[in-house]
Structure 1
Amino acid sequence: MLWMESRHINPPLIKIISVEETDVKLYALEANQIEPWIITGHADGCVDIWNCNTQKSMRLINVSRGIVCSVKFIERKCWFLAGSTDGLISVYKYNRTTKVQATTRFIAHEDSYSIRSLAVHATQPYVLSSCGTHIKLWDWDQNWKCRQTFEAQSTVNQVAFNPKDANSFASASDDHTVKIWSIDSSKPKYTLSGHLGGVNCLDFFTSNDQQYLITGSDDKTAKIWDMQKRMCVDTLKAFMSPVISSISHPCLPFLITGTRDGAIHLWNSTTFR
């Protein structure tokens, strides 16, 4: 079962989507912001597109010989991306009838294999990929040229562009830190330290016109970081297991965290309760 939000509906709804038709382990999930679809990445190298309304699979595509660890829609291009454990990024074009056509596939990371995270820039033709200790910035307008390589010094579990700063992004690392980067420099601008375990996930959000970052860690906490003060302002502790997913709701004042033991918590993004 997948628990997800349908953002294309106003007001947004929370739905339960059943994917019990497959017994292949699921590794990645992404919701389309225009169509009522989700895409899932699986251990057998396949991605599946699901209709949220019918709760049925619309298209199953084999994209890799490795595990598909990250999937992303790029709605303005009618594309989806799949990053896999063989270091490949696969790009596919789709239309409203879910007809799918492969457009390109390239080796993004040669030295280490598993692509753990992908992030799509909101306005520029950029995609970030993280693999091992490396982060790369790709430009699809330049035939997927690598514009910059960032050396994180520790395994990067997730990357995310800053929605309020077009030239900035954040990375969550196994060295217990979050690093803030400029896309124009291979070195981080600054580091946020405070977790006692590896940082697995992160997401930017805004509350009362102030920008924050939520992070989840192996130390069984989530932390709230004030991006202006560059410091932790709250620690969420109601967890019995490592926090492996943290997202902010795009319309409602909710923060959503998921833990390795299968628990989901909803938090108020103003009071952090």
Structure 2
Amino acid sequence: MSTEEFVWRELVVQRLRERDRKECQNFKEIIVQNNRLIDHVAQLKSDNLKLSVENEQLRNAVSTGGTGPNVAMATLEKKLLAQQEELTDLHKRKGEHSQMIVDLNLKVEQQKKLLNEKEHSLYKLQTVNNSLRAEVQLFHSSLDELKKLNTTLLDEHTALQLAFSSLEDKMRHIQDENRSLLDRLMRYKSKDADKLNEENESIIRKRSAKLKRDLEDAVREPNSAVNQSVPAAGGTPLHRNSSPAQFGGGATVSDDEFDEASINGAMEALGLDDEEYINARFTAGETSHDLRRSIDTMKAAGYLGQPNPTNILMKFEAHENESHAVRWSPVGRMVATGGADRKVKLWDIGKGSYCLRKSATEPRAVLSGSSAGINSVDFDSTGSYVLGTSNDYGARVWTVMDNRLRHTLTGHSGKVMTAKYVQEPIKVVTGSHDRTLKIWDLRSIACIETKFAGSSCNDLCTTDSLGSTIISGHYDKKIRFWDIRTEKQADDVLMPAKITSLDLSKDCNYLICSVRDDTIKLLDLRKNQVISTFSNENFKISCDFARAAFNSVATKIACGSADGTIYIWNVNGFLETTLKGHSSAVNAVSWSPNSNSLASVGKSKRCIIYSDS
């Protein structure tokens, strides 16, 4: 017999004894009293018998006569009557006690049934307890195994941590070597640039000498076609041997008095382009500052620059909801738009009356994959990839050729407002509302560096194809400069209000910044200061991500207003024209890099293409 079975039997016996003790203890006094009553009844029966005998004897004595016995008999009859009454009372009490015994027996039966039920429940609970003890033992064994496995994993983690630390040290060493190599490369490039500049200067000097000789030869030839008069602003002929500020007979005319016919006629007669015209005036004795001021004045007047796009070439519904972003492809006539309907769409922009008549246009491709509205779109320099940012905290890269989603960049904790290529096509920088900028390696689809700006980023741009400097505009009114080669941050530029967009000229010397105080600032990055401010009494920035843009030659600035009008300023500071067509606020504009066309989108879901023809 096992120890467990012995304990079980002892427990049952002990509980039975306890039950008997509890159930008998309650009725012990009743049983004792009942026994006493039974003994008393037996005693009374014997006394009654004796009295009956004595009564018979007395009756016999009375029957035989005598007065004395009659008195005794009367006394005995009274005594007998009292005894009979007492006996009747005792029988009554006996019946009551018998009924109590019956009731108690019923209670005992009920208690026995309850005890059986409890014993059955106890058996079931003991069975469950045994199964639970078996499970506990199994869990104890599993816990021991897990502890051993945890110890093994901790040892492996320690080993991997050591290996990671070693690899991280190697990576830092390689990064240091990479930086040193980049510095050497930049020094070599600087030397090459210096040599190239020297060669260009020698070529320019030779060309200037040649032009001087040609001008002198033209002056000597009395019947030369170049020496013929070209009408100037005041009717005075312009000769090849005179500067554009000096006209025949010694008359002097300011640069502002040029008209298009005189300038174009003089340059066409001489066969010169802009730079050759400057060199020719340089040989005539003017300073380089005066020459550049003169050519800038002519370009500002629209004589040497592109005309303004004033005609609506195309008008179509770009998205199902509000349109947020637009960007021209650097190659071909294609526009990418992004909107609140979570899609990026590509549109072929044609020419001709057919496009003007066409009221609705089908997109060339619809790029899907985003789970929230699109905030910005951009192309790489070859026009092969489209980069889009979204409110779902991510950025995505699609290929233009097959319209497939190639990369999804997730890691920001706020909506991503802007993204640009750096060191294309292998790296991308993104700016987000989570107050960080992240640099992504598209080969590993991983974030390789995080810049903590301390304020929400609304837009950014990069200075060159290597992405050596990143410029970001923020909610806290600051423009921040990040040098990713040295990991140093240059001095911030503080604006009067929060910044909605940035755009950089192709030569990386000038930056425009749209500010929420309804102005656009022009910064000279060589001086790192604002040199001009563009505004108008009717011009209002439409939203916190409204985009302004340079044209392809950085001579004009366009930006949409909250009233649906597009304003175009000349970089010299004056407003050239305004474009109508939108019925609600304009969110973004983009100049075509290959033609004098302007694309715009706004809250009315409509995209409008403006052209100069």
What TM-score bracket applies, with the shorter chain setting the length? 0.7 to 0.9
Instruction: Pick closer, same or farther for the CA change 1:92–1:256 going to 2, 3 Å.
Output: same
Counterpart code for 2:575 = C
Q: Is the 8 A contact 2:326 2:588 kept in 1?
A: no
Q: Is the 8 A contact 1:48 1:58 kept in 2?
A: yes
Q: Is the 8 A contact 1:192 1:230 kept in 2?
A: yes
Q: 1:239 aligns with which of 550, 574, 582?
A: 582
Bigger Rg, structure 1 or 2: 2
TM-score (norm 2): 0.39
Q: Deviations over 1:124-147 (max 9, x none)?
A: 72211011211111112222x221
Shift of 1:100: 2.4
Shift of 1:211: 1.4
CA distance, structure 2, for counterparts of residue 93 and residue 21 of structure 1: 20
The alignment status of 1:183 with 2:525, answered yes or no, reads: yes
Alignment of 1:28-67 (within 5 A): 28-34=376-382, 36-67=384-415
Shift of 1:114: 2.1
Shift of 1:67: 0.7
Counterpart code for 2:566 = A
Q: Is the 8 A contact 2:589 2:598 kept in 1?
A: yes
Q: 2:559 aligns with which of 188, 193, 215?
A: 215
Deviation above 4 Å: which 4+ runs of structure 1?
A: 1-6, 184-187
Query: Where is the strand percentage greater, Structure 1 or Structure 2?
Result: 1
Instruction: Pick closer, same or farther for the CA change 1:146–1:77 going to 2, 3 Å.
Output: farther
Shift of 1:6: 4.4
Alignment of 1:52-131 (within 5 A): 52-76=400-424, 78-95=426-443, 99-108=444-453, 110=454, 113-122=455-464, 125-131=468-474
CA distance, structure 2, for counterparts of residue 56 and residue 141 of structure 1: 32
Q: Is the 8 A contact 1:205 1:213 kept in 2?
A: yes
Counterpart code for 2:551 = F
Counterpart code for 1:89 = L
Instruction: Pick closer, same or farther for the CA change 1:223–1:64 going to 2, 3 Å.
Output: same
Q: Deviations over 1:244-271 (max 9, x none)?
A: 1111111122111111221111111x46
CA distance, structure 2, for counterparts of residue 53 and residue 4 of structure 1: 17
Q: Deviations over 1:52-86 (max 9, x none)?
A: 22222112221211111111112447310111101
Instruction: Pick closer, same or farther for the CA change 1:23–1:78 going to 2, 3 Å.
Output: closer
CA distance, structure 2, for counterparts of residue 157 and residue 4 of structure 1: 16
TM-score (norm 1): 0.84
CA distance, structure 1, for counterparts of residue 474 and residue 554 of structure 2: 31
The alignment status of 1:201 with 2:547, answered yes or no, reads: yes
Gaps (5+ residues) in structure 1?
A: none
Instruction: Pick closer, same or farther for the CA change 1:184–1:36 going to 2, 3 Å.
Output: closer
Gaps (5+ residues) in structure 2?
A: 1-318, 320-324, 336-345, 347-363
- Residue 257 of structure 1 corresponds to which residue in structure 2? 600
Q: Deviations over 1:87-126 (max 9, x none)?
A: 110001224xxx4232211212x1xx32100111136722
Give 3-state SS (helix, strand or coil) of 2:421's partner.
strand
Shift of 1:219: 3.0
Q: Is the 8 A contact 2:389 2:419 kept in 1?
A: yes
Query: Where is the helix percentage greater, Structure 1 or Structure 2?
Result: 2
Give 3-state SS (helix, strand or coil) of 1:116's partner.
strand
Alignment of 1:109-188 (within 5 A): 110=454, 113-122=455-464, 125-132=468-475, 133-143=477-487, 145-164=488-507, 166-185=508-527, 187-188=529-530
